[in-house]
Structure 1
Amino acid sequence: MAFKKKEFGDKRDYHQELTDKTKKDIDELIFILDNNPNLKWEAKWLICKEAPINPATGTKYQGINRISLSIQRFPDNRFYTYNNIADMEKIRAKNVFDTKELSSQLDNKSITYAEYDKKMAVIEKSFLDLEDKGLLDRTKPMHVMKGSIGTPIFKAIQLSFKNNSIDKNEEIVNDQTASSESTIKIWKQVYCGTVHNASNIANIKPKFEYKLDFIPHEETELQLRSMIEIKGMEYEEINQGRAYFSPSQNKVVMPLRESFETVNDFYGTLLHELGHATGPELNRDQSGGFGSKSYAFEEFVADISSNFMSSELGIPYNPSQHENHVAYLKSWSKALGDDKEFIFKAAAKAQSVVEYLNDTRHELKVKLGLIVEHKNDLKEVVKPTVSNEIINKPVVRQKM
């Protein structure tokens, strides 16, 4: 008689589940494109218009968690744990009870108006905190709706292994390879809990419309300028149809801006190439040719990081703007099928790209005086948006 693995109490393989979900989405896109060769492709396997967040804790989900939550296609970017909602409801219910109790005490003259006002101020502050976290109606309970299916999230932990027992594909943190008995450490993404989307929670506020405090195209120009001025990257726009990064020259080459169908297509492609441009300093293998596993991995990292950076900078992401994207999809599908850790490794690298680019742009802003850092408390004062004259300082050498 055949038995399913879980009948013996085996734990769920969350890494395999996320890999399977990602591969399924990519395979569906490949099928559509293969059967509609003239279709202009605007579909995406990953949608990151806004980074998923947890308003109860202030967490902004990154890396693999950003992928795990984004590919669920929820219209709301807010996620809560079951305990987040249970704790908020406990506080809400207590506030309601205490409010009624104080009103009764005031009617019975067992407390003064001054005492009532003082205690109600504390309750009001508590309600305002709950409302900041998402509470809609103070008089109604909050709860995760029946039938809601949560989404797993992961946490990076450090594990120690004997050198002769480690998987060579793992991310090594501290490599002591003097002998086969040496102990080495790796980072491993492990399942740490489940979160529920705000759309599946009762008595939650409607989604707040996120507004940028900068002009997307100007901010992306600052990102480009920061890579040139802070990191010494070469940059050129020429009259040809291919965008690429040359590791040997540390140079990004782009087609002429006016050759792109939309300005967003230009900046989206630029962010993809800037993702590649972080490779040398972040020690990624960029030596593989098209069709190799290392090439597929590098393109996967660049695709994920440009997704992330597009949402960071307010640039609509359009995957069809990237050359050979369908071929990349097929290579990623194969890699996902061969290695359930492929997407976890790529997400970690992509998050490093985002942090690198954000830090570099921040450094330029400090240099330009757009941000003033106070060394005593590390707080920042952001000045008004820089003028076009400053942002568009000539950095492009064009050839016809």
Structure 2
Amino acid sequence: MAASSKKPYYEQISEQLIEQLKAGTAPFQKPWEPGTLMMPHNPVSGTRYRAGNAFWLSMQGRNDPRWMTYKQAQSIGAQVRRGESGTLVQYWKFEEKVPKKDAQGKPVLDKDGKKVMVTVRLDKPRCFSAIVFNAEQVDGLKPLEKKELAWDRHQRAEKIIRGSGVTILHDQADRAFYRPGTDSIHLPPRPQFPSADRYYHTALHEVGHASGHKSRLDRDLGGTFGSERYAKEELRAEIASLMIGERLEIGHDPGQHAAYVGSWIKALKDDPKEILRASKDAEQICEYVMSRELEKSVSVKPEPSLQKPVREPVKERELPQAEKTSEPTMEL
């Protein structure tokens, strides 16, 4: 997408995402092997792009995750190639630092005679835009360093799952889902997964859904399979899974998207701003899930091979997927 586009930022993202969804090339529709996915970041400022900006830049089809402004490239002795088009990103400023004032309205000074600054909430948020270029468009940069897979990625994932506060049951043959009514995650036994990375990706996807429980982030989890609310929650969980998979280096498994694509496209056409809300919520889900690594562990129920199998109610197990009962479950 050229930087000169006159369409609003959210429309640019929404329209391109719709085309990628139709083609099956959206970032979360593609499988990523452990350690190969790197979300967009700025190598000059050292910051990680967030929410809508992160998702938008990941949609650009670049193999290098580094993005920077023209001036930032110059500041490190690099140069954007002539004729290259940049990509628009936007930031919202909700607060700013201003000089602290005393009762007489005069600036308060510190012991060195400098103004003391305080952070205040803006009455009206301000929007700022910037044009950034991918490292593939810049000459003079060092090659992207290949990261070695983190040896402790599975241990970290296990800590997150155990610190999630959600009951984990390995009682399924070939399904994985979160059931809000019982605040429980249901998975197949670990040996049924082709790899530990795939197991943890699946489990953490469901932990992402569980973050929406009313006792946590309190999202709307009331939609039944096939409904618009269900599809919107799944969109948030998929984007969050992409982010979590990158942060933990466990990769990303796109799962079964065929049932959701039509609903996602409809939601984006009805309201192009939905992608910004979904990306913001996905960022919040990712941060919440990652923070569980620091929580105290809770017990995870033993695998069926170590305990008497838990049978799912027949009405849940035998109904076709499109005819599920009103008790919602968040499927992978």
Task: Provide the TM-score with structure 2 as the length reference.
Answer: 0.74
Cα pair 1:50 1:311 within 8 Å, conserved: yes
> Which residues of 2 match residues 77-226 of structure 1 at below 5 A?
77-89=65-77, 142-158=78-94, 190=127, 192-226=129-163
Match of 2:30 in 1: 44
Q: CA deviation at 1:211?
A: 3.1
Q: CA deviation at 1:154?
A: 2.0
- 1:303 corresponds to which of 215, 238, 242: 238
Three-state SS of the structure 2 residue aligned to 1:238 is coil
**Rg larger for:** 1
Aligned: 1:29 with 2:15: no
Three-state SS of the structure 2 residue aligned to 1:75 is coil
Cα pair 1:296 1:328 within 8 Å, conserved: yes
Q: CA deviation at 1:215?
A: 2.3
Three-state SS of the structure 1 residue aligned to 2:76 is helix
Distance 1:186 1:307, change over 3 A: farther
Question: 1:71-94 CA distances to partner (integer Å, 9 max, x unpaired)?
Answer: 1121111111012123334xxxxx
Cα pair 2:156 2:248 within 8 Å, conserved: yes
Match of 1:335 in 2: 267
Question: 1:170-224 CA distances to partner (integer Å, 9 max, x unpaired)?
Answer: xxxxxxxxxxxxxxx8979x56211101111111110011235442222211111
Aligned equivalents of 2:125 and 2:162: distance in 1? 33
Match of 2:170 in 1: 237
Q: Which runs of 5+ in 1 are unaligned?
A: 1-8, 31-41, 90-141, 160-184, 368-392
> Which residues of 2 match residues 212-361 of structure 1 at below 5 A?
212-227=149-164, 232-280=165-213, 281-320=216-255, 322=256, 325-361=257-293
**Which AA in structure 1 matches 2:61?**
R
RMSD: 2.9
Question: 1:270-313 CA distances to partner (integer Å, 9 max, x unpaired)?
Answer: 12101101001112100111222211110001101111101111
**Which AA in structure 2 matches 1:361?**
E
**Which AA in structure 2 matches 1:222?**
K
Cα pair 1:237 1:254 within 8 Å, conserved: yes
Aligned equivalents of 1:212 and 1:46: distance in 2? 13
Cα pair 2:32 2:252 within 8 Å, conserved: no
Match of 1:109 in 2: none
Question: 1:315-359 CA distances to partner (integer Å, 9 max, x unpaired)?
Answer: 121113x4xx21112211111111111110000001001111122
Greater relative contact order: 1 or 2 (C-alpha under 8 angstroms, separation 6 or more)? 2
Three-state SS of the structure 2 residue aligned to 1:397 is coil
Cα pair 1:245 1:252 within 8 Å, conserved: yes
Three-state SS of the structure 2 residue aligned to 1:153 is strand
Match of 1:173 in 2: none
Aligned equivalents of 1:157 and 1:252: distance in 2? 37
The ranges of structure 1 where at least 4 consecutive aligned residues each deviate by more than 4 angstroms after the TM superposition are 45-48, 185-188
Distance 1:218 1:187, change over 3 A: farther
Three-state SS of the structure 1 residue aligned to 2:90 is strand
Cα pair 2:18 2:265 within 8 Å, conserved: yes
Distance 1:360 1:62, change over 3 A: same
Aligned equivalents of 1:43 and 1:327: distance in 2? 13
Percent identity reads 30
Aligned equivalents of 1:20 and 1:239: distance in 2? 38
Q: Which runs of 5+ in 2 are unaligned?
A: 96-122, 310-332
Q: CA deviation at 1:396?
A: 2.4
Greater helix proportion: 1
Three-state SS of the structure 2 residue aligned to 1:192 is strand
Aligned equivalents of 1:395 and 1:12: distance in 2? 49
**Which AA in structure 2 matches 1:69?**
L
Task: Provide the TM-score with structure 1 as the length reference.
Answer: 0.62
